[in-house]
Structure 1
């Protein structure tokens, strides 16, 4: 197992993704993570070597230090086998397709919105637009006082030729 020398988390990019109301929890989590990382880094990567010859001189019982040395060198700390990385990698590969599809759909939405924004920006300023300009640009929405005069407030209910729509009632 190799020793990591720096955290693999890009905290700056991750912070950009955190909602403003969750920043406090994010910084608390980052502080705990940094504290854990500093604790791990404060320990040496390998345990300090044991001077077995010095112990053989000090310990009066013959063979005891040799037994400890063989037991110490035979001991391997149990480390769980990595059985989930392959599953995570396969799930990530499947998600990549969904992510690409989502990104392409959102790009279409972005393109549509950009076209609409550019269309709106191309319009004359509101202060410079006249009723005639508005009528030329939107003849279906604008008031046409020549061909179809109307009374204020220019909605269908207030016009002289307005007829109530017949409502069908269930019997």
Structure 2
């Protein structure tokens, strides 16, 4: 019979505990207690099955050949330790997750660079308190009022303009 023993815990509980958020500490403690209970129960059993005293049974069982037959069958019995079929799948999932994380980091770095460029651009602008209308128009051409090239109607909101088209409102309800 094949047996496999755990000599020490393969889980670094202290490193894992450092990564657990405060609101999950209770669940983590319960999980660790359950895991330790399973490990204690498994370690309570001996590594190998106890030896059978076949001589005792031979003298006390009245049926001839029965103990010898059981002994042959018992010694021929071989229960292999289950093979590990899941680890390659987990390794594959880990590789895929690592690729996804690396792609996300690359995309995040690109977004961060864009945001930093936008921050640098905003820092280079004049403060709004010191801007004139012409400075505002130069800095924000899409937001600034341009009465010469693109006149608008008061109150100068997009909804009040002639060319306004809101895709949320059905066309027959738009009033001009």
TM-score range, shorter chain: 0.5 to 0.7
Task: Name the residue aligned to 1:168.
Answer: 161
Instruction: Specify which of 23, 29, 52 is matched with residue 21 of structure 1.
Output: 23
Paired residue secondary structure (2:127) = coil
Q: CA deviation at 1:12?
A: 1.8
2-structure distance, mates of 1:10, 1:104: 30
Q: Deviations over 1:41-89 (max 9, x none)?
A: 1111111111223332333432121111112122334754433322222
Q: Does 1:82 align with 2:68?
A: no
Q: Deviations over 1:90-125 (max 9, x none)?
A: 222222222233345556778999x9xxxxxxxxxx
Task: Name the residue aligned to 1:140.
Answer: 126
Task: Name the residue aligned to 1:70.
Answer: 72
Paired residue secondary structure (2:95) = helix
**Runs of 5+ unmatched residues, structure 2:** 117-122, 134-153, 163-174
Task: Name the residue aligned to 2:136.
Answer: none
2-structure distance, mates of 1:15, 1:109: 32
1-structure distance, mates of 2:100, 2:125: 43
Task: Name the residue aligned to 1:154.
Answer: none
**Runs of 5+ unmatched residues, structure 1:** 116-136, 149-163
Count of residues in correspondence between the two structures: 136
2-structure distance, mates of 1:107, 1:42: 52
Q: 1:107 to 1:141 in 2, by over 3 A?
A: same
2-structure distance, mates of 1:31, 1:2: 22
Task: Name the residue aligned to 1:34.
Answer: 36
Q: CA deviation at 1:22?
A: 1.7
